[in-house]
Amino acid sequence: MGGRTPIEPQRVDAPLTSSATFLVLSVKLDDDDAINTVRSTLASVEGLSKNVSIRDLNASFACTVGIGSDAWDRITRQPRPAELHPFREFHGKKHSAIATPGDLLFHIRAQRRDLCFEFERQLLDSLGDAVSVIDETVGFRYFDVRDLLGFVDGTANPVGPAVTESIVVTEQDDAASAGGSYVVVQKYVHDIAAWRKMSTEQQEKVIGRTKLENVELDDAPDGQQQSHKSLATIEDDQGEEHDILRDNMPFGSPGSKEFGTYFIGYSRKLWVTEKMLCRMFIGEPPGMHDRILDFSRPLTGTTFFAPSATQLASLGDS
Task: Tell me how far apart the alpha carbons of residues 173 and 85 are, in angstroms, rounded to a whole number.
Answer: 16
Catalytic member of 103, 153, 243, 247: 153
For residues 265 and 183, is the Cβ–Cβ distance under 8 A?
yes
Query: Which residues pair with residue 235 across a beta bridge?
Result: 241
Question: Please, is 168 exposed, middle or buried when counting C-beta atoms within 10 Å of its C-beta (0-12, 13-18, 19+)?
Answer: buried
CB 251 within 8 Å of CB 138: yes
Residues 276, 282, 284, 289: is their CA dihedral positive or negative? positive
Respond yes or no: is residue 173 known to be catalytic: no
Neighbours of 175 (CB within 10 A): 11
Spatial separation of the C-alpha atoms in residues 70 and 92, rounded to whole Å: 26
Q: Decide: 202 and 209 in contact? Cβ < 8 Å.
A: no
Annotated active-site positions, please?
A: 153
